[in-house]
Structure 1
Amino acid sequence: MKIYHYIAMLAVTLSVTACAYTNHFLDEDEREEVLPYSTLQNVKVSAYDTWTYIDLKTGKMETHPDAGEWIYGGTGGVREAQQAEPIGIEWHIAVHRYEFKTNGASVLNTGKTDMANVTTLPEGSYTPDAVLPYETEKDKMEGAYLLSMDMAGMMAGNIGYAHNPSINLPLCEGITRTPTGTMPPVIYGNTDKVFVLKWDDGSWATLQITGVVHTVSGVSNYLSFNYKYNPAK
Structure 2
Amino acid sequence: MVALSLLSVSSCDNIYDDLSEIPSNNDKENCYTNVDATSYTTWVYLNFADGSQTSLPYDNTADIPADWTIALHRYDIKTNSGSAFRTGYTSLDEVKTAAKTGTFPMPDASEFTRDEPSKITIDMSHMMDGYIDYADANINNVIGKWLNVDTSSMPPDYAMDSNVYLVRTKSDNVYAIRFTGYSNPYQSNTKGYISFEYDRIK
- TM-score > 0.5, shorter chain as reference: yes
Deviations, residues 114-136 of structure 1 (Å, cap 9, x unaligned): 0011223622521111113xxxx
CA contact (8 A) 1:46 1:97 kept: yes
**Gap change, CA 1:58 and 1:148, over 3 Å in 2:** same
> Post-superposition shift, 1:101?
0.4
Structure 1 segment 159-174 matched on structure 2, within 5 A: 159-162=132-135, 164-174=136-146
In structure 2, the partner of 1:105 is 82
Aligned pair 1:214/2:191, yes or no?
Answer: no
Structure with max Cα Rg: 1
Larger helix fraction of residues: 1
1:89 Cα deviation after fit? 5.9
**SS at structure 2 position matched to 1:64:** strand
Runs (4 or more) in structure 1 with deviation over 6 Å come to: none
1:152·1:159 contact (CA, 8 Å) conserved in 2? yes
What are the residue-to-residue correspondences of 1:107-146 with 2, within 5 Å?
Answer: 107-119=84-96, 120=99, 122-123=106-107, 125-132=111-118, 146=119
Task: Say whether the 8 Å CA contact 1:149–1:161 is kept in structure 2.
Answer: yes
Q: In the alignment, is the contact (CA less than 8 A) between 1:52 and 1:62 conserved in 2?
A: yes
Indicate how the Cα distance of structure 1 residues 211 and 180 shifts in structure 2: closer, same or farther if over 3 A, else same: same
TM value normalised by structure 1: 0.64
RMSD over aligned CA atoms reads 2.1
Give yes or no for contact 1:55–1:89 (8 Å, CA) kept in 2.
no
Aligned length: 164
Cα distance in structure 2, aligned partners of 1:229 and 1:170? 19
Asked if the contact 2:79–2:169 (Cα under 8 Å) also holds between the matched residues in 1, the reply is no
Q: Which amino acid aligns with 1:220?
A: K
Change (3 A) 1:87 1:165: closer
For structure 2, the residue ranges without an aligned partner over 5 or more in a row are: 1-28, 100-104
> Is the Cα–Cα contact under 8 Å of residues 57 and 229 in structure 1 kept in the other structure?
no
Quote the offset at 1:200 in angstroms: 4.3
C-alpha contact (below 8 Å) 1:189/1:211 kept by paired residues: no
Matched, 1:92 2:64: no
Instruction: Note if 1:228 corresponds to 2:199.
Output: yes
Q: Distance in 2 between matches of 1:198 and 1:88?
A: 18
**What is the distance in 1 between the residues matched to 2:43 and 2:89?**
27
Gaps of 5+ in 1: 1-36, 68-82, 133-145
* Structure 2 counterparts to residues 47-86 of structure 1, below 5 A: 47-67=39-59, 84-86=61-63
Once the two structures are aligned, what percentage of the paired residues are identical? 27
